[in-house]
Amino acid sequence: MADSQVAGRSITELKDPLRPRFSWFTDRWIAISFLTPTMALLVFITVFPLVWSLYLSFTDWSVIRDANTAPTWIGTQNYADLLMNRRTWERFVVTGQFVVPSVTIELVLGFGIAMLLNRKFNGRGVIMTMLLIPMMLSPIVVALFWRFMMQGEGVLNYYVVNLFGSDPVLWLTDRWVAPWSLVLVDVWMWTPFMMLISLAGLSAVPKYLYEAAAVDRASGWFRFRHITLPMVAPLLLIAVIFRTMDAYKLFDQALVLTGGGPGRFTQTASLYLYDLAFGQFRTGEASALGYIMLIVIIALANLFIRALNSIKATE
């Protein structure tokens, strides 16, 4: 063919504008090389251990006791033991008692604050960044300091006693108060996240819709219900999904704050799992519980995603 080259490509290629510049072949190569490292990591570090864990869940292996022996297969006994045991269900109830109030309060509070911030005023940028700090702290630090403040003679009780004249509150050791203390700390830490997402959604609502409502003399309630809420709802739902998944998984804060106590009144499923695995070293049984937890959250997530899709479908 022609000898002359332009920019390293033969002149015949350049002459034909319809011929795609990018050959299917090199693109395929690029796609593969872009995807492989990520998928390799994901598969290796998540799928592989999961499969292993699944296997373990059918054994009575203990990482301490049986470190050098092969696991003994016991079939579904672990699952049966767990599911029959009332204690297991109690753990899930405790988890629910934590997740539902936390996420609900975070949603309402975060959205409310976002509505407050959704206007121009001096110092908005600084205030917003300040309000995001709780989210940025290490959960351990947060838990440790709330524990400090919630001590019998800590700051909180100082005001409870001196300002309100009542007895000191047993924030972390009273069986009725302790679960709510957990909720309080989680709300403190994660409301900013809901606020951020809500703010993003609110700022995307076109201003002229509100103006039309003003011309039509719409009430504040109408504006909220028919303009704000429908437009922000999908984004909020996604935030709720993420936050629910995370609250369900919650572990480090609870461990530091109450360790599951008093007794077992704040022992969520995650904490129970930790205890089984690294407290009692019943590895096989712990794996089984882990899988039960996984199935629960996948089912929940599915429900949420379906709700999300049905909302999106009506638009």
Looking only at residues 219 through 258 of this chain, which bind another protein when binding is defined by CB under 8 A?
Answer: 226-227, 230-231, 234-235, 238, 245, 248-249, 251-252, 256
Site mask, another protein, residues 126-145, x = CB under 8 A?
A: -xxxxxxxxxxxxxxxx-xx
Q: Please choose, out of 68-76, 86-94, 172-180, 201-209, the segment that lies near another protein by the rule CB under 8 A.
A: 201-209
Residue 279 lies near another protein (rule: CB under 8 A): no
**Smallest distance, another protein to C-beta of residue 208, A:** 4
CB of 104 to another protein, least distance (A): 17
CA-to-CA distance for 146 and 154, rounded, in angstroms?
10
Does 260 engage in binding with another protein (CB under 8 A)?
no
Q: Are 156 and 171 in contact (CB under 8 A)?
A: yes
Asked whether position 96 contacts another protein by CB under 8 A, the answer is no
**Shortest distance, CB of residue 204 to another protein, whole angstroms?**
7
Other Cβ atoms closer than 10 A to 296: 14
- 262: preceding bond cis by omega (within 30 degrees): yes
Q: Which two tokens stand for residue 149?
A: 């403040």
Residues 6+ apart with CB under 8 A from 196: 110, 114, 132, 135
Name which of 43 and 80 has its Cβ closer to another protein.
43
Minimum distance between the CB of residue 60 and another protein, rounded to whole angstroms?
Answer: 14
Which run of H or E residues covers position 122?
Answer: none
**Closest among 49, 54, 57, 51 to 74, alpha carbons compared:** 57
Decide whether 74 or 131 has the Cβ nearer to another protein.
131
The dihedral over CA atoms of 78, 82, 83, 87, expressed in degrees to the nearest 10, equals: 170
Contact between 212 and another protein per CB under 8 A: yes
Nearest approach, Cβ of residue 230 and another protein (Å) = 4
Tell me how far, at minimum, the Cβ of 163 lies from another protein, in Å: 12
Q: Quick one: 73 or 175, whose CB is closer to another protein?
A: 73
Q: Is 16 in the site for another protein (CB under 8 A)?
A: no
Residue 168 engages another protein in binding (rule: CB under 8 A): no
- Total binding residues toward another protein, as defined by CB under 8 A: 107
279, β-bridge pairs: none
- Neighbouring C-alpha atoms within 13 Å toward the C-beta of 293: 28
Q: Which of residues 56-75 bind another protein (CB under 8 A)?
A: 56, 63
Q: Is 83 an interacting residue with respect to another protein (CB under 8 A)?
A: no
- Nearest approach, Cβ of 174 to another protein (angstroms)? 20
Kindly state the smallest distance separating residue 262's Cβ from another protein, in Å.
19
Answer yes or no whether residue 158 interacts with another protein by CB under 8 A: yes
Site for another protein in 295-314 (CB under 8 A): 297-298, 301
| 11 is an interface residue for another protein by CB under 8 A | no
Burial 230-266 (b: 16+ CB within 10 A, else e): ebbebbbbebbbbbbbebbebeebbbbbbebeeeebb
Q: Where do the H-state alpha helices sit in the chain?
A: 11-15, 24-42, 48-57, 77-84, 86-117, 124-136, 139-149, 155-164, 177-203, 207-215, 220-222, 229-249, 252-257, 269-274, 283-313
Tokens 């989680």 sit at which residue?
186
